[in-house]
Amino acid sequence: MNNAINQPQTILVLGGGSEIGQAIVHQLASPALRTVILAGRTASIEMATPLDGDANVVSVTFDALDYAGHDAFVQEMAAEYGDLDIVIQAFGQLGDDTVNTDPVAAASLAQVNYVGAVSSGLAVAAQLRRQGHGILIVLSSVAGVRTRASNFVYGSTKAAQDAFATGLGHSMQGSGAKVVVVRPGYVRTKMSAGVEEAPFACDPDDVATAVVKGLRRGSSVIWAPAVLQGLFGALRYAPGPIWRKLDR
C-alpha cells in the first residue's frame, strides 16, 4: 500500500523491459519502495540503470498472449509481494513493414497490443478492486488518436487499447483504484529506432516526468509532451486531404 505521503511500495511492470516503463519506475522510486516486479517474456530482465535505495527488483515470466493465465498471474504477484500499488502496462509491438498489408501480421499485432491489454487490464483491475486502492498506468499513444496511412494498423491497436483503458477507468470510479492513460508522441526507444522522428519527439525520461506530474495532479489522461493535447485536439478534426498530406 502507498505510504502516508502516497509513495508506492510495490510496482509491477507488465513488459518489464520497456524503457518507458523503467523510466517511470525510476521517477516513482523513493525510500518507501520495497519491490519492483519486472514481468516479461523471460525471467532475466534487469533494470537498465540500477535503482537507488534498497528496493528489491525481481524478474518474472509474463506472456501478453496467455489470456487464460493473466488473472492467476496477477493474484500470484499480489500474494507473494503484497498489494500492487502501481501496475504499468508497458508491453506492445510496433510491427514490421508488412503489418499494413499482411492479414496475419496485422492480427498478431492486434493480439498483443489490444487483446493482451484487455485481458491483463481486467485481471489487474480485479486485483485493485479487491485491494481498494492502486493505479493501473496504461501506455497508449497519440497514434491512436487519429490513425495515419503509414501506420494505421498499429494506430488502430492503440486506439482500441486507449478506448478500453479509458472505459475501464470510468468503471472503477468509487472503487478506490483508478486507471491512468498515457498518450506519448514519438519516443526515442529501441522500438522506434529506424523510424523517422516526428515533431515534439522526446525521451523515456520525459514521458516519466509527465507521468509523475500527472499522478500528483490526479490526472486520468496524460499527454507527453503536453503540447500534443492541443495539437491533436485540432488535428483530430483536420480534413482528410490535409491529414494525409501531413503523413508524407
Residue 22 included in any domain: yes
Residue 2 included in any domain: no
pLDDT tens sequence across 54-111: 899 999 999 999 999 999 999 999 999 999 999 999 999 998 889 999 999 999 999 9
CATH of the domain at 71: 3.40.50.720
Please tell me the total count of domains within the chain: 1
Residue 5 included in any domain: no
C-alpha cell at 202: 522526446
Mean pLDDT calculated for residue range 15-33: 96
Residue 4 included in any domain: no
Q: How far apart are CA 148 and CA 48, in angstroms?
A: 32
Active site residue 67: no
Q: Write down the catalytic residue from 67, 154, 186, 237.
A: 154
Residue 90 included in any domain: yes
Q: How far apart are CA 181 and CA 90, in angstroms?
A: 11
pLDDT tens sequence across 106-136: 999 999 999 999 999 999 999 999 999 999 9
Residue 159's domain comprises 10-246
